[in-house]
Structure 1
Amino acid sequence: MAGTDSRRGPVARGCVGIRETRHRLRASPVTCVVVTDAKQAVIVGVGLIGGSVGLALRDEGWHVVGVDLDSGRLADAVDRGVIDEIGSLDTLPAADLGVVATPADSVAELAQRLLDAGVVAVTDVGSVKAAIAGSIEDPRFVAGHPMAGSEQDGLDGAAAHLFSGAMWVLCPTSTTDDTVFATIRDVVKSMGANPIAIPADRHDQLVAVISHVPHLTAATLMRLADGRATEERALLRLAAGGFRDMTRIAAGHPAIWPDICVQNADPIVDALDELISELSAIRDVVSERDRAALLARLESARVARRNLPTTIPSTEAMSEMRVPVLDRQGELAAIATLAADLDVNIYDLEIAHSAEGPRGVVVLVVETAMTERLQGGLMALGYRPSSRSLEA
C-alpha cells in the first residue's frame, strides 16, 4: 500500500524492499512488496545523526533500512520519510553501505555484525575513534566522525542538510580497502560534507580540544551561572548573546557524554590541564591589573579566531595531482593521511585501477598553493606525483 510523502513523492510505508523484502508496519493487515534497483544502506541507530544520514542518503536515491532498539522511533522514522524500511539485527541484508550511529560503547560490536552480514562498506559516526578503529581489522570498515550536530534530540533535529559544509573525519588504516575508502568518501561528499583523512589517535587528540573540552567548559560555565543565580535572581535575565553563544552546546543531550569522556579520557584530561593552565595565567594577568599583557592575549585570540577556515577555494585556485601507485590495499589511505599530516585539504580524490598490471593512479584535487608541499611529502615517501592547474 503505497502512500505519498509530500517532500519525496510516492513511498511505500514501511514495506519498500531492495530484494523484494516483505515487512509489516505495526499491526497493518496489508503486506507490500516493492522492487527497486536503488543502492541499499543500513543505518543502525536512527536518532539525530543516523536520521540525518538517512534523509541525506534518500535524497541521493538510496534505499535506506533502519535498525534501532526503539520500535516506536523506527515507525516514526518511516512516517517522517527518514528510512524506507524497518530492519532487524537478526536479519541484516548484505547492503552496499552500513552506518553505525549508536553510543560509542556499542559501535564496534554493531559494525562487526554488519560486516559479518556481508555489507560491502561500513562506517560509523562516533565521536571517539582510536578504540573503535583498533578493535576492527576488517578492510571494509572505515571509522568516521561528522563534525556536525544540533541541540535538538533524536528525529526532531534530523535534517538532510545537517552535514552541509561540515568536516567529516575518516580514519583509514594501512589495511583499509582503497575501493571501500573511496566509496565512503564519495558518500560523505554526496551528503554535502568535506571528508578529511586523519589517523584515529590523532583525531581523538584534536577533538578533545575542539569538541569535548568545549562541551565540558560550556556545561561548567552554565553550572557556575546557575549556581550564582540562586543568590542573584536577575543574573540569568542579563545573559546576552555572548553568554548564550558560549553555552549553547551545553543544551545538547547529556546521555552521550559519559561514554565519550570515558573512551577519550587521556586526551581530554591533557586538554583540560592545558586549559586550566591558560586560565590560571590569565587569572594572574587580571589579578596584577596588567593591561598590556591582557590586551596581548585577547588580541592573539582575536586573530586566531578570525583565521579559522571558513570557505572552500574556487576552482581557479585548485590543481589536480596524479600519483602512480601499486594497486594494493592501503595506498589511498596512506596518501590521504599524509595530506592531513601536512595540513593539505583534499577536495576530490579517486583511484584509477589499471587493467594491464598491478599499478594504478590516485587523482587528487588540492589547493594550488599546497601542491608543492604535498608533492615534497609524497616524493619523500617514494611516490612520483605530477600536477596541473585546473584554472580555465
Structure 2
Amino acid sequence: MVAYKKLHSMLTSIGANVLAIEPQKHDRAVAIISHLPHMLAAVLMNLASSETNHTENVLMLAAGGFKDTTRIAAGSPRMWIDICLDNRDAILYSIDKMGDMLSALRNEIDSADRDAIADMLERAQKGRLNLPAALGKEIGHLYEIYIPVSDKPGVISDITLAVGQLGVNIEDIEILHATEHSGTLRLMIPEKDNADKVAKALIERGYEVDLRTTGG
C-alpha cells in the first residue's frame, strides 16, 4: 500500500488520472477496449485481403471508414502475440461475447428485423457520441458540431484556432471521411452557449455548420 501511494502521488503530480482496479477486472476491461479491437481490425483486414483474390479491386474501393477501422491492424504482430497469450482468458471471453452479438445481428438481418437493427445501431451511436462522458470527466452537456471540410492543408488548424480564440474547449475531435478528398470534422463542445458561439464564428469564416445535441 505504501508503494502504491508513492506511485499514485508521483503520477498525479504530473497530471495523470490514476484508476485503481482489481487485476481480473483490469484484464477484462483492456481486452474489450484494446485487445479485442485489434483482433477485429486484423480479421477485417484479412477478410478484405482474401476477398481481393476473388473480387478484383476490393481494396481499391476502401475509403476512410475502412482505413480508420483497420488502422491498428498495422501494429507489431510479435507484440500482439504476447498480449493475446498473456491475457488469453479475458480475450477469449470478449471474443465469445462479440460472437454472440454478431450472431444476433446476423439473425436480425436475415429476418429483416428493421426495429432490432435500428435499436442496435442507435445504442451504439449513443454510446460512441457520449464516450467522453463515459470516461468519467465532468464536462456538462455536450453538443456536436459537424463541419464539411476539403482535404487540404490548414483547414483543421483554421477551425481549431477559431475555436481557441473564443476561449472554448474542444472535448473531442474526429474526422469522418466521406471520400479520399473530403470529409466532415466533428467537434464535441460542452454547453449550449459555447456551441452557439463556435457555430456562429465558423459560419462567419465561411464554413457550413450542423449543430446537434448528443442528448448526453
How does the TM-score come out when normalised to structure 2?
0.58
Shift, 1:185, TM fit: 2.2
Which residue type is aligned with residue 75 of structure 2?
G
- Partners in 2 of 1:232 and 1:288 — Cα distance? 27
Which residue type is aligned with residue 202 of structure 1?
K
Matches for 1:314-353 after TM superposition, within 5 Å? none
Matches for 1:14-29 after TM superposition, within 5 Å? none
Greater relative contact order (Cα < 8 A, sep 6+):
2
Question: Which one of the candidate residues 52, 61, 73 is aligned to 1:229?
Answer: 52
1:351 maps to which residue?
A: none
1:243 maps to which residue?
A: 66
Which deviations, in whole Å up to 9, do the C-alpha atoms of 1:51-89 show, x marking residues without a partner?
xxxxxxxxxxxxxxxxxxxxxxxxxxxxxxxxxxxxxxx
- Partners in 2 of 1:231 and 1:253 — Cα distance? 28
* Root mean square deviation of aligned Cα: 1.8
Matched, 1:313 2:132: no
What SS does the corresponding residue of 2:18 show, helix, strand or coil?
strand
- Partners in 1 of 2:100 and 2:56 — Cα distance? 32
1:298 maps to which residue?
A: 121
Which residue type is aligned with residue 240 of structure 1?
A
1:195 maps to which residue?
A: 18
Which runs of no fewer than 5 residues in structure 1 stay unpaired? 1-175, 315-392
Matched, 1:184 2:10: no
- Partners in 2 of 1:235 and 1:190 — Cα distance? 50
Matches for 1:117-156 after TM superposition, within 5 Å? none
- Partners in 1 of 2:18 and 2:61 — Cα distance? 40
- Partners in 2 of 1:186 and 1:236 — Cα distance? 49
- Partners in 2 of 1:197 and 1:287 — Cα distance? 43
- Partners in 2 of 1:193 and 1:247 — Cα distance? 29
| Larger gyration radius, structure 1 or structure 2 | 1
Shift, 1:190, TM fit: 4.8
The structure with the largest helix share of the pair is 2
Question: Which one of the candidate residues 232, 254, 259 is aligned to 2:82?
Answer: 259
Matched, 1:217 2:40: yes
Count of equivalent residues: 137
Cα–Cα, structure 1 residues 192 and 208, in superposed 2: closer, same or farther, change >3 Å?
same
Which residue type is aligned with residue 138 of structure 2?
P
Shift, 1:192, TM fit: 4.4
Which runs of no fewer than 5 residues in structure 2 stay unpaired? 140-216
Using the aligned pairs only, state the percent identity: 42
The structure with the largest strand share of the pair is 1
Matched, 1:284 2:96: no
What SS does the corresponding residue of 2:54 show, helix, strand or coil?
coil
Which residue type is aligned with residue 313 of structure 1?
E
- Partners in 2 of 1:259 and 1:187 — Cα distance? 29
Shift, 1:309, TM fit: 2.5
2:96 maps to which residue?
A: 273
Which residue type is aligned with residue 207 of structure 1?
V
Shift, 1:261, TM fit: 1.3
Matched, 1:206 2:29: yes
- Partners in 1 of 2:63 and 2:10 — Cα distance? 40
